[in-house]
A and B are shown apart, each in its own frame.
Chain A
């Protein structure tokens, strides 16, 4: 007989696989939203949109078996915050730091998908 723990674990595995499959689209959306925000960093709505998506990735990455995604999203969230504080203070902001953190997130997507698909590819 299947225990409740087994059922929840199976659903967690299914959602984790779905999460990994959707990561490329998620991170493309992050790229687009970061670009839109950097284009108009004074727009609070754009900041809110990008902050929210990156924060969600940070929270869900490790829950769904991708701690690297959480780490990369955390770094991006920090750099977005730094950029905003610099902009608010009238200092020249470091847009390249934000962009390199986005690149780090892209690298983690590749890693997560390779880890997820590794056994199938090697088999």
Chain B
């Protein structure tokens, strides 16, 4: 069972600049503990030790995209019940429903304001906690 408060976020994003500003914002403005990874492979290396409360995944990444990364992380005990949030610049009609079917509890659309991202993540966490969303999608 997850903690009531959100503390640890595992963030996977291949764009180094976006990764840096999002990590800074989540850590310094949101006071979250963030482990940022550039790829699914990196995330799989750290996830068991980190024990994330929430997964924040870019959708479009080379090699393994966000949904494939989520599938891989879900196989680990340490991430099997962590809610997942996708970040994507590719949102057309039906995309958000598709991402939810793939196991996301919410979707954040790029571009976003890094300064307000911590609040958005906090809201998603509260909704997740109050709704009892099934992470299996």
Contacts and interface: CB of A to CB of B under 8 A. Distances in A.
A116 interface: no
B94 interface: no
B66 to A, nearest CB: 12
Contacts of B111: 59-63, 67, 70
A55 B60 contact: yes
A59 B15 contact: yes
Interface stretch (A8-16, A30-38, A85-93): A8-16
A39 interface: no
Contacts, number: 62
Interface residues of B, number: 21
Dominant secondary structure at the B interface:
loop
B46 interface: no
Dominant secondary structure at the A interface:
helix
Contacts of B3: none
B29 interface: yes
Contacts of B24: 7-8, 11
28 contacts: A4-B28, A4-B29, A5-B28, A7-B28, A8-B21, A8-B28, A8-B115, A11-B21, A12-B21, A12-B114, A12-B115, A15-B20, A15-B21, A52-B60, A52-B62, A55-B60, A55-B89, A55-B90, A56-B15, A59-B15, A59-B88, A59-B110, A60-B18, A60-B110, A60-B111, A63-B112, A63-B113, A70-B89
